[in-house]
Chains A and B, each alone.
Chain A
Amino acid sequence: MNTTDINYSKTGKSRPPPANTVGLIGWVRTNLFNGLLNTCLTFISCYLLWLIIPPLLDWAIFNADFTGNVGRECTTDGACWAWLDQRIEQFLYGFYPAGSYWRVNLAILLLFPALAYVLFENLPFSNYGRWYSLAYPFLAAFLLVGGFGLEGITTDKFGGFMLNLVAGLSGIIFSLPIGILLALGRRSKLPAVRLLSVTFIEFIRGVPLITLLFVAIIILQLFLPPNVSVDQLVRVMIMITLFASAYMAEVIRGGLQAIPNGQYEAAQAMGLGYWQSMRLIILPQALKISIPGIVNTFIGLFKDTTLVIIIGLFDILGQARVLQTNPDWMGKVDHETYLLAAIFFFVICFSISRYSINLEKRLDTNRD
């Protein structure tokens, strides 16, 4: 098999490979300098790195100011990070009362078991766990808004990164059931159902989210009876959910299409009706295949929640702007605040996408 096997010397031992094909030198030769084009590319990328990395590090760390109470105290020509100390909480929680930060933290913490019971099958107490997952959205809403003994906090106090999380998570959680129904509707045999689903999905996917948000803040109020008014954040969340559910429907439709026809026929042969066969046979398999797509939809939606700044809600970008226009910090923190927001999003989205790749491998039951 191996061509080097025939390379015996007289002693019966194989000769060592040439020195310039192994070790560091070998690696550099094969990976960086094999051929004229690659050598050029290597030098170009080294030059680019040299151009970008040292000034960036100088600006962000070595020349940066980390202490001070106002922007004027940042005197070096590097970044000004002094605001982190007093303003990071506003960045994360917006105008949420400082004494109630624990409620946000607890709601986020409780999310993980709720997710785990949805994603994995072999967990302890999984009978109760499913109910817990179903109840989680209400539990989280109770924690965040208050009532029933907890101090009530109006939604206009929601802000910062927490607002992005709330909008993104609620959008994805509520859009999942709607998306499933729309996907089933699009594949339904009933023409009216199919037509309605297709129209809804294609309409929503054809317009930008910002127009739907305009609908949420300007028009939705017109649609309601004169004496009914709905909380602004709730209206925004409704539109985000509708937006996400159209994309969700397409992801799930992909999963449904990947299920071989034999599964549908076998379910029918067992005497299961439409809903039974969907619930017991088709959807569990289809949703499992769709998980990477669902996660991608979530990442996209989570990034899109920054759009709420355009309609005047103070999410993380809104808080960055608040800080930039604050007289104490004006003109000093333009780049720093946006960079920090970018890092927040990057860390969360990147780790979710890595985890989804990992999950995809683990859920792959098709072992051959």
Chain B
Amino acid sequence: MARNGEQTQNTGFKLVNLWTDERYRGLIFQFALVLALFIFIAFIVSNTIQNLKTAGLASGYSFIFDTASFDINQRLIEYSSTSTYGRAIIVGGLNTIVVAVLGIFASTIIGFFAGILRLSNNFLISRLVTVYVEFIRNVPVLLQIIFWWVILLALPKVRQSLSIGDSIFLNNRGVRLPSPIFEDGSLFVLAAFVLGIVLSLFIRRWSLKRQEVTGQTLPIGIISIALIAVLPVLVYIIAGQPIEFQAPLRGKFNLRGGLNITPEFVALWLALSTYTAAFISEIVRSGILSVSSGQKEAARALGLKQNITMRKIVLPQALRVIIPPLTSQYLNLTKNSSLAVAIGYQDIVSIGDTVLNQSGQALEMISIFMAFYLTLSLAMSAFMNWYNEKIKLVER
């Protein structure tokens, strides 16, 4: 090594320096790597072109304008079997997003409760939650999805539907809920709801400012609930009950009306939320444990009640530890929703698989899957990074 130094000092560039000088070696190595990669890609591309030619397959994305002649039973946008493949794929993508968003919502709630309950000093409840977390965490999520599905399919047939208050029906074709019917004036109710949210946000900010100045607090929780829940109800009554809920009717062979939720959706949603919740509860637990006990003791010394200590002292500090791993759990849930294909919930993979089999455009279809999930992942991590930045400890 020392001799190398002398050489480079005394003389100019020598051919041996290409190998002994770290800078040149790095350049050569990178050059070789990039070259190898290009050769590898060229090899794959030429093979693919040749293989496609011998198989007589067309390539390109023009197939998405062809007619998809299959049906989709859960759709958020207009779709029929005469629509195009492209539209079918969009319907599938929306279905993925629906189950992911609802799953994230449910798993966060269950996960936070389970994480806090596991730290409870109630022996029985903490053990119960431990059993739940450990069992769910160590069993494949695919198995859980299929298991819920099998259980839902074993529900009674449509004619013997279980009913809750004659408005919600459970049977082996899914869950049937009353469907809302919007009449004139329902816009007012929606406006009242939005107004309630906006007002409660304003009052929250104002009361925080007032607290900083005077030290007095307002019961923000109760006020917000009153604004968000009671205000729309009042408007609803004043406007003459413009939204009606039409309960499904028991026909001779079938249920009529109402909103049907397929067993596939329910199974997927239940399995994904409980599975991810088990992981989230572990994250929440370790986040809470990471807050030093001095914080809790200080809060109690100031005379704060236990639930206020949890809400105002422990959880905000724990959140800083919780958010990054929570993000990756949300991403996992979204990616795991692709397992829907195993039970036939029509998400993007499941519909894409059908498109792939009908059109034979494997390369294009799989690239669409990948682009879809990559976009979702990047968008979600960007959002969570922004949120993490926002709640970060502001240091002076």
Contact, CB under 8 Å: A317 / B143? yes
Contact, CB under 8 Å: A193 / B349? no
Contact, CB under 8 Å: B339 / A210? yes
Knowing A214-B366, A303-B140, A309-B342, the reply to whether A222 touches B135 (Cβ < 8 A) is no
Complexed CA–CA distance, A345 and B147 (Å): 14
Q: In the complex, what residues of B have CB within 8 A of residue A192's CB?
A: 30, 33-34
A residues 321-368 near B (Cβ < 8 Å) are 334-335, 338, 341-342, 345-346, 349-350, 353
Q: In the complex, what residues of B have CB within 8 A of residue A345's CB?
A: 138-140, 143
Is the CB of A38 closer than 8 A to any CB of chain B?
A: yes
6 tightest CB-CB pairs across the interface, nearest first?
A349-B138, A31-B123, A303-B140, A192-B30, A208-B335, A208-B338
Interface-lining segment among B49-57, B247-255, B296-304: B49-57
Extra inter-chain contacts (19) besides given A203-B374, A214-B369, A350-B134, CB under 8 Å: A41-B120, A41-B122, A45-B122, A191-B30, A192-B34, A196-B33, A207-B373, A210-B341, A214-B366, A222-B52, A271-B1, A299-B138, A307-B339, A309-B342, A345-B139, A346-B138, A349-B137, A349-B138, A349-B139
B residues 120-174 near A (Cβ < 8 Å) are 120-125, 128, 134-135, 137-144, 146-147, 150-151, 154
B154 interface neighbour in A48, A206, A225, A334, Cβ under 8 Å:
A334
Q: In the complex, what residues of B have CB within 8 A of residue A221's CB?
A: 51
Provide a sorted-by-A list of 18 A–B residue pairs whose CB atoms are within 8 angstroms: A38-B120, A41-B120, A45-B124, A46-B124, A190-B30, A191-B30, A203-B370, A208-B338, A208-B339, A210-B338, A214-B369, A219-B363, A222-B51, A310-B142, A310-B339, A334-B150, A346-B135, A349-B137
Complexed CA–CA distance, A346 and B128 (Å): 17
Is the CB of B362 closer than 8 A to any CB of chain A?
A: yes
Q: In the complex, what residues of B have CB within 8 A of residue A109's CB?
A: none
Knowing A31-B123, A271-B1, A338-B147, the reply to whether A211 touches B373 (Cβ < 8 A) is yes
Q: In the complex, what residues of B have CB within 8 A of residue A259's CB?
A: none
Contact, CB under 8 Å: A353 / B138? yes
Chain B residues within 8 Å of A, Cβ to Cβ: 1, 26, 29-30, 33-34, 37, 44, 47-48, 50-52, 54, 117, 120-125, 128, 134-135, 137-144, 146-147, 150-151, 154, 335-336, 338-339, 341-342, 349, 353, 356, 362-363, 366, 369-370, 373-374, 377-378
A31 interface neighbour in B122, B140, B143, Cβ under 8 Å:
B122
Contact, CB under 8 Å: A346 / B139? yes
Contact, CB under 8 Å: B338 / A211? yes
**A29 CB → nearest B CB, Å:** 11
Which one of B47, B123, B124, B356 has the highest number of Cβ atoms from chain A below 10 Å of its Cβ? B124
**B222 CB → nearest A CB, Å:** 19
In the complex, the chain B residue whose C-beta lies closest to that of A250 is B328
Contact, CB under 8 Å: B47 / A226? yes
Complexed CA–CA distance, A245 and B116 (Å): 34
A335 interface neighbour in B29, B44, B150, Cβ under 8 Å:
B150
**B276 CB → nearest A CB, Å:** 13
**A325 CB → nearest B CB, Å:** 13
Q: In the complex, what residues of A have CB within 8 A of residue B378's CB?
A: 206
Contact, CB under 8 Å: B128 / A49? yes
Q: In the complex, what residues of B have CB within 8 A of residue A346's CB?
A: 135, 138-139
Contact, CB under 8 Å: B29 / A190? yes
Q: In the complex, what residues of A have CB within 8 A of residue B138's CB?
A: 299, 303, 345-346, 349-350, 353
Contact, CB under 8 Å: A218 / B362? yes
A193 interface neighbour in B33, B121, B137, B336, Cβ under 8 Å:
B33
Is the CB of A42 closer than 8 A to any CB of chain B?
A: yes
Complexed CA–CA distance, A101 and B34 (Å): 46
Q: In the complex, what residues of A have CB within 8 A of residue B373's CB?
A: 206-208, 211
Contact, CB under 8 Å: A226 / B370? no
Complexed CA–CA distance, A199 and B233 (Å): 52
A264-279 toward B: CB 8 Å interface, digit per residue (1/0)?
A: 0000000100000000
Complexed CA–CA distance, A346 and B132 (Å): 12
Complexed CA–CA distance, A306 and B342 (Å): 11
Contact, CB under 8 Å: A306 / B124? no
Complexed CA–CA distance, A334 and B374 (Å): 36
A residues 228-268 near B (Cβ < 8 Å) are none
Complexed CA–CA distance, A56 and B34 (Å): 60
B374 interface neighbour in A207, A307, A349, Cβ under 8 Å:
A207
Q: In the complex, what residues of B have CB within 8 A of residue A49's CB?
A: 128
Contact, CB under 8 Å: B341 / A317? no
Complexed CA–CA distance, A224 and B26 (Å): 31
Complexed CA–CA distance, A349 and B134 (Å): 10
**A354 CB → nearest B CB, Å:** 9
Contact, CB under 8 Å: A223 / B44? yes
Q: In the complex, what residues of B have CB within 8 A of residue A349's CB?
A: 137-139
Is the CB of A32 closer than 8 A to any CB of chain B?
A: yes
Q: In the complex, what residues of A have CB within 8 A of residue B363's CB?
A: 219, 222
**A269 CB → nearest B CB, Å:** 12
B122 interface neighbour in A42, A193, A224, A350, Cβ under 8 Å:
A42
Is the CB of A215 closer than 8 A to any CB of chain B?
A: yes
Contact, CB under 8 Å: A222 / B47? yes
Q: In the complex, what residues of B have CB within 8 A of residue A209's CB?
A: 335
**B115 CB → nearest A CB, Å:** 15
Complexed CA–CA distance, A218 and B366 (Å): 9
Q: In the complex, what residues of A have CB within 8 A of residue B37's CB?
A: 196
**B217 CB → nearest A CB, Å:** 23
Complexed CA–CA distance, A302 and B343 (Å): 21
Q: In the complex, what residues of A have CB within 8 A of residue B134's CB?
A: 350
Contact, CB under 8 Å: B341 / A310? yes
Complexed CA–CA distance, A136 and B154 (Å): 46
Contact, CB under 8 Å: A226 / B154? no
Q: In the complex, what residues of A have CB within 8 A of residue B140's CB?
A: 303-304, 306, 345
Contact, CB under 8 Å: B369 / A45? no
Q: In the complex, what residues of B have CB within 8 A of residue A334's CB?
A: 150, 154
**B8 CB → nearest A CB, Å:** 16
